Amino acid sequence: MAIINQATKELQVKIVYYGPAMGGKTTNLVQVHDHVQTTAGNKGKLVSLATSSDRTLFFDFLPIEAMSIKGFKTKFQLYTVPGQVIYNTTRQLVLRGVDGIVFVADSQYEKMAENVESFTNLDENLKALKLNLGDIPYVLQYNKRDLPNAAPVEYLEFLLNNREVQVPSFVSTAHLCEGVFESLNMITRMLLNKYISQSTPQYA
């Protein structure tokens, strides 16, 4: 969960990009890293633990500092998980301490089963960590909308956004940076909102 450091006036939060293999999670981080507007020094290096074929092996990691809220520096740590089914243990490790999730789904028709499997896997992994998808802010991102075999958004909504509480969803073409910042800003807004509603007001 988020770290609040009163001494150094820092709020640190962890956002994890989750989803099926080759869905565009790493591309999201690369686009944020390449295009985010920051003052010098507020954007960390994008660290990628990948195989020689550029498949994520452990995780990608991007630390960025956003705005100051009441004198608190807000530091965001963006992580991706490896999408391949065999790396489930690694996904569980990366989910530890998660504050918000961006689920990156692959819009292609033939990837629907993988999308659903990955979403179910997310739910199971959170339960293994004694967390509940209902308690953690998350958004859905339907990626690869530029491909000709992309399924209609309504179909993706039916498959992935059909729980009791519907969450915000975004269409994206991550390699063109479309929908990337929209998803990130929404998840940030949702998790900060969660801390507002949880916290007791502090009076000076």
Partner 1 sequence: MVTLPQLIEEDIQQLDAVLEELLEKTDATTALIIDKGGFLIAHHGEQRQFDLTTIAALASGAYLANQTIANLIHETNFNSVYQQGEKYSMFVNCVDECCLLTVIFKAHLSVGAVKYFAGPAAESLARQLVLAQERNPSGGIDLSVLNLADPSAIFRKKT
Taking alpha carbons only, the member of 180, 154, 181, 177 closest to residue 166 is 154
Looking at the Cβ atoms of 19 and 82, the one nearer to partner 1 is 82
184 binds partner 1 (CB under 8 A): yes
Taking alpha carbons only, the member of 16, 40, 19 closest to residue 29 is 16
Sort residue 3 into left (φ over 0), alpha (ψ -120 to 50) or beta.
beta
Rounded to a whole number of angstroms, the minimum distance from the CB of residue 43 to partner 1 is 10
Using an 8 Å Cβ cutoff, are 107 and 121 in contact? no
Rounded to a whole number of angstroms, the minimum distance from the CB of residue 140 to partner 1 is 16
Looking at the Cβ atoms of 55 and 73, the one nearer to partner 1 is 73
Rounded to a whole number of angstroms, the minimum distance from the CB of residue 97 to partner 1 is 2
The pairing of strands 169-171 and 138-143 is: parallel
Looking at the Cβ atoms of 79 and 115, the one nearer to partner 1 is 79
Q: How many CB atoms lie within 10 A of CB 64?
A: 18
For residues 55 and 161, give the distance between their C-alpha atoms in angstroms, rounded to a whole number.
Answer: 27
Q: Of 21, 33, 155, 195, which one interacts with partner 1 (CB under 8 A)?
A: 195
58 binds partner 1 (CB under 8 A): yes
Q: At what angle do helices 180-198 and 25-35 cross, to 10 degrees?
A: 90
Residues that bind partner 1 (CB under 8 A): 1, 3-8, 11-12, 14, 32, 35-37, 44-45, 47, 49, 58-59, 61, 63-64, 66-67, 69-70, 72, 75, 77, 79, 89-90, 93-94, 96-98, 129-131, 177, 181, 184-186, 188-189, 192-193, 195-196, 198-202
